[in-house]
C-alpha cells in the first residue's frame, strides 16, 4: 500500500512583508507565469481555448496581463509564499 502524502509547507503566517516587498509580488507573479509558459512552449505546448493534454494546448499560454484573475492569484500566491519563506529562513532582501 502506498503511503499517503501529506504536504507540510513551512508555517510563514507570522511573517509580515514590508510595503516594498509587497510591491514586488506582482512582478514576481508575472515572472512565474513567464517561466511556466516558456517551459510549456519548449515542451511543444501552444495556446488552445480549452486545455488538451493530447494536443498540448492550454488556455493560459497568453500574456500575464490577459490571464483570468484566478490564474493571476495562483501566481501571486506562489510569489508571496516564496518571499515569506525567504524571510522566515532569515534572509534579508534589499533593493540597491
Mean pLDDT of the chain: 95
Confidence check: pLDDT of 28 > 80: yes
Mean pLDDT on 58-85: 97
Q: pLDDT tier at 1 (50, 70, 90 boundaries)?
A: low
C-alpha grid cell, residue 29 = 507573479
Amino acid at each position: 500500500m502506498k503511503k499517503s502524502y501529506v504536504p507540510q509547507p513551512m508555517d510563514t503566517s507570522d511573517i509580515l512583508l514590508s510595503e516594498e516587498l509587497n510591491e514586488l509580488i506582482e512582478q514576481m507573479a508575472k515572472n512565474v507565469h513567464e517561466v511556466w509558459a516558456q517551459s510549456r512552449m519548449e515542451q511543444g505546448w501552444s495556446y488552445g481555448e480549452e486545455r488538451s493534454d493530447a494536443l498540448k494546448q492550454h488556455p493560459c499560454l497568453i500574456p500575464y496581463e490577459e490571464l483570468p484573475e484566478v490564474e493571476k492569484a495562483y501566481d501571486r500566491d506562489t510569489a508571496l509564499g516564496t518571499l515569506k519563506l525567504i524571510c522566515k529562513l532569515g534572509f534579508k532582501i534589499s533593493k540597491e
